[in-house]
């Protein structure tokens, strides 16, 4: 009976955990879909900005391009490597893949640059680098219960641009895990600033009839470039969030499947133990009945 009670207690404990895992899986799926929608929306907006830039770039001077952080070829010597991980766990090996891969990419960049700064987004990235005594230029938390918002990315971009304007850094690389449906991809380092001229639209045939630009082209170009920088960073953060949420969904889905298998095994063990206990009780009753019968026979 002791084994029977132990199995039943364990089965009850696992059944109490199952709804929590199912809820976490549902929440991860919701965040995953939100991040994917924002990724697609930002891609569409970037395409629209590229169309506007293709009209404006021929109308601005090289000085205007330089003032907007546009260079012919980016070779930053004092870059900051911005590592995006998650704020919490329960997402499988996602954070390990991102942080360990980021450490390798930072080491490679140190060979090419005079000095490399490190910044983090997400508590798991911050904890990883602080535990290894890496000085952080800045660390930015992420929301725990929802996908990062555009306002959060705008605050992050403002901080990075302030460091860039001060001359402390001369470039920004974003390290994140590209989105893959079925696995966590190795992180990549993507140049955010300065903007390489080759990444801007150019060389296409001008539209006909030519669009009418009522605002001063230089001012409009500056505004469009600022929007493009912000949306580019937002798109990367959304892609990292989609990678995180998909990893969390897979982890919770695997946990849910494992719980189901464990419940089935324990249920079978419980029934087997219960049948065994009933059999033993019946044997005890039969043995007791036999003793009583033999006792009556001796009395006769």
Q: Is residue 275 part of a domain?
A: yes
68 in Cβ contact with 195 (< 8 Å): yes
Q: Is residue 27 part of a domain?
A: no
Kindly state whether residues 150 and 87 are assigned to the same domain: yes
Q: Is residue 115 part of a domain?
A: yes
Q: What is the pTM of this model?
A: 0.86
Q: Is residue 78 part of a domain?
A: yes
* CATH label of the domain that carries residue 282: 1.10.287
Cβ atoms < 10 Å from Cβ of 274: 14
Kindly state whether residues 277 and 175 are assigned to the same domain: no
* pLDDT tens-place string over residues 177-229: 999 988 889 999 999 999 998 888 865 666 667 777 778 888 999 999 999 99
Amino acid 204: pLDDT: 61
SS3 for the chain is CHHHHHHHHHHHHHHHHHHHHHHHHHHHHHHHHHHHHHHHHHHHHHHHHHHHHHHHHHHCCHHHHHHCCEECCCCCCCEEEEEECCCCCCCCCHHHHHHHHHHHHHHHHHHHCCCCEEEEECHHHHHHHHHCCCCEEEEECCCCCCCCCHHHHHHHHHHHHHHHHHCCCCEEEEEECCCCCCCCCCCEEEEEECEEHHHCCCCCCCCCCCCCCCCCHHHHHHHHHHHHHHHHHHHHHHHHHHHHHHHHHHHHHHHHHHHHHHHHHHHHHHHHHHHHHHHHHHHHHHHHHHHHHHHHHHHC
Q: Is residue 298 part of a domain?
A: no
Please say whether the dihedral angle defined by the alpha carbons of residues 12, 13, 15 and 20, taken in this order, is positive or negative.
positive
Kindly state whether residues 268 and 135 are assigned to the same domain: no
Reference 36, options 181, 239, 183, 252; nearest CA is 239
Kindly state whether residues 165 and 248 are assigned to the same domain: yes
139 pairs with which residues across the strands? 120
* pLDDT tens-place string over residues 15-29: 888 899 999 999 999
CA atoms within 13 A on the CB side of 55: 17
Amino acid 295: pLDDT: 62
* Burial class of residue 132, CB neighbours in 10 A (0-12, 13-18, 19+): exposed
Amino acid 268: pLDDT: 86
Are β-strands 195-196 and 188-193 bridged in parallel, bridged antiparallel, or unpaired? unpaired
Kindly state whether residues 124 and 262 are assigned to the same domain: no
Q: Is residue 26 part of a domain?
A: no
Kindly state whether residues 89 and 143 are assigned to the same domain: yes
Q: Is residue 297 part of a domain?
A: no
Kindly state whether residues 155 and 271 are assigned to the same domain: no
User: Tokens 């190795």 correspond to what residue?
Assistant: 186
Alpha-carbon separation of residue 184 from 3, 239, 257 (angstroms): 41, 12, 20
pLDDT in tens, the chain (300 residues): 557 788 888 888 888 888 999 999 999 999 999 999 999 999 999 999 998 898 888 888 889 888 888 988 888 999 999 999 999 999 999 999 999 999 999 999 999 999 999 999 999 999 999 999 999 999 999 998 889 999 999 999 999 999 999 999 999 999 999 999 888 899 999 999 999 988 888 656 666 677 777 788 889 999 999 999 999 999 999 999 999 999 999 999 999 889 888 888 888 887 887 787 777 777 777 776 666 666 666 655
Kindly state whether residues 9 and 122 are assigned to the same domain: no
Q: Is residue 299 part of a domain?
A: no
Number of domains in the chain: 2
Domain of 107, in residue numbers: 32-253
173 in Cβ contact with 80 (< 8 Å): yes
Kindly state whether residues 199 and 67 are assigned to the same domain: yes
* Burial class of residue 139, CB neighbours in 10 A (0-12, 13-18, 19+): middle
208 in Cβ contact with 55 (< 8 Å): no
């Amino acid at each position: 009976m002791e084994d029977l009670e132990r199995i039943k207690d364990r089965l009850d404990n696992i059944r109490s955990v199952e709804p929590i895992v199912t809820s976490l899986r549902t929440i991860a799926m919701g965040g995953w879909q939100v991040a994917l929608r924002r990724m697609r929306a930002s891609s569409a907006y970037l395409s629209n900005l590229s169309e506007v830039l293709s009209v404006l770039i021929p109308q601005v001077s090289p000085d205007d391009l330089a003032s907007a952080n546009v260079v012919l070829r980016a070779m930053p010597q004092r870059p900051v490597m911005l590592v995006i991980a998650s704020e919490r766990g329960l997402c499988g090996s996602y954070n390990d893949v991102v942080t360990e891969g980021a450490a390798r990419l930072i080491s490679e960049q140190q060979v090419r640059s005079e000095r490399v700064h490190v910044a983090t987004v997400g508590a798991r990235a911050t904890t990883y680098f602080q535990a290894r005594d890496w000085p952080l230029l800045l660390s930015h938390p992420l929301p725990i219960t929802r996908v990062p918002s555009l306002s959060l990315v705008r605050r992050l971009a403002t901080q990075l641009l302030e460091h860039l304007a001060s001359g402390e850094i001369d470039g920004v690389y974003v390290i994140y895990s590209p989105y893959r449906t079925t696995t966590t991809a190795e992180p990549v380092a993507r140049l955010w600033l300065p903007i390489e001229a080759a990444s801007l639209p150019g060389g296409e045939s001008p539209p006909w009839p030519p669009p009418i630009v009522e605002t001063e082209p230089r001012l409009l170009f500056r505004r469009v470039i600022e929007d493009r920088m912000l949306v580019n960073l937002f798109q990367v953060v959304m892609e990292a969030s989609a990678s995180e949420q998909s990893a969390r969904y897979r982890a919770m889905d695997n946990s849910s499947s494992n719980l189901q298998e464990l419940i089935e095994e324990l249920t079978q063990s419980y029934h087997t133990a219960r049948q065994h206990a009933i059999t033993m009780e019946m044997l005890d009753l039969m043995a007791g009945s036999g003793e009583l019968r033999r006792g009556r026979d001796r009395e006769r």
